[in-house]
Amino acid sequence: MQAFKPVVLSVMVTSILSGCSYLTGDDGYFRDRQGDYLVAPDIAPMDIPPDLDSYTLDTAYVIPDPLQDERPFFLEAPAPHGLDTNVREGVVVQRFGERRWIVIGAEPGQVWPRMRDYWSTAQIRLASEDPIKAIMETVWLGEEGERNKYQVRIEPGLHSGNSEIYVTQVSESYIENPDAPIDWPEDSASQELEYAMLDDISQYLADRTDLYRASSVSLLAGSIEAESKANVMPSAAGDILRIRIDFDRAWSQINQSLNNANILVSDSNRDEGVFTVHYAGDEEEARPGFFRRMFGAKTTAQEDYPTFTVRISEEEGGVVVTAEPVSSDATTDLRNLLVRALHRNLV
């Protein structure tokens, strides 16, 4: 009986090893499947009954046909952007005169899929969408004769990591042929309807901030332009600030940036596009230290700071902002710091 035990043990071990091979081998139930997708066959698309809506089953990121596009067609993973301290948290509706738009702390490629979610949740069908230009257009909404159509554009913000969302609305009564492609106007037919749509979209996105900020950018959505509208660039005369917005908005933005940076403005001329400012570096650098104040060091008044002319000049596609020295102590280094301060304090 004692001599029989090793034989039984040997049979048990052999059975166990054979069982493991059966489960994990090439034909086993738990085999390695990580390369199966390389040889997976195509299957027919899901057949949706004609009386049901297939909108929510549409492809989220439609791959464009390279034959219909004259540009070279490549799908490349977007490079990560550097950290930007001006990335806006949350969602804000910006106002400038009668114009309104949404500013959101996410890149256009992150906002695109969330906007598709919005239309699906609101049960609004899209007539067309262009993920390269980041434009969506709804079908006609409402009753016959009083229908409305909306276009939504997603554009880069003034700082990297931010996006701007614009809504344009047209009424059926303004369109000669509602079935033809629309030549979209710059201004909506009804600002009230435009604002209502903007408010609804902003509320939806505000409730989902964590979702889109944490989401990755798909290859196609990542091809949406993400370069910020405002960029500091070198030139022969020093740093300049290029902003891809119109002059009216640029004047307002620079005025607000000067205020945000606590830079003293002694004069301004909107017709000539110039501000006369006094600047001695960042606020913390210009302020005397604690011990100097304790022992009576005099604080230089802002009026005595180096003087510059900040000039806004129109160019094709936007404006360029420069800083020109006026006083003898307005150095090149200070001029570059001033331009960067203007950029940093844009909103």
- How would you write the pLDDT of the chain (347 residues) with one tens digit per residue? 455 454 454 545 455 555 555 555 666 655 666 667 667 777 777 776 766 655 445 554 445 555 445 545 454 444 444 444 455 568 999 999 899 999 999 889 889 999 999 999 999 999 999 998 999 999 999 988 789 999 999 999 999 889 999 999 999 988 888 889 999 999 999 999 999 999 999 999 988 755 545 454 544 555 566 688 999 999 988 999 999 999 999 999 999 999 999 999 999 999 999 999 999 987 544 444 443 444 444 456 888 899 999 999 999 999 999 999 999 999 999 999 999 999 999 98
Tokens matching residue 3: 């001599």
Tokens matching residue 193: 């309807």
**pLDDT of 86:** 52
pTM as predicted: 0.68
Are 55-223 and 230-344 equal in CATH topology?
yes
- In CATH terms, 230-344 corresponds, of 3.40.449.10, 3.30.310.170, 2.30.110.10, 3.40.50.720, to 3.30.310.170
**pLDDT of 313:** 97
CA gap 16, 19 in Å, rounded = 5
Q: Which CATH class is domain 55-223?
A: alpha beta
CA-CA-CA-CA torsion sign (47, 50, 56, 62): positive
CA gap 219, 221 in Å, rounded = 6
- 136-158: b (≥16 Cβ within 10 Å) or e: bbbebbeeeeebbbbbbbbbbbb
In 3D, which of 298, 302, 258, 257 has the Cα closest to residue 280?
Answer: 302
In the block, residue with structure tokens 């091979």: 21
Q: Where are the domains of the chain?
A: 55-223, 230-344
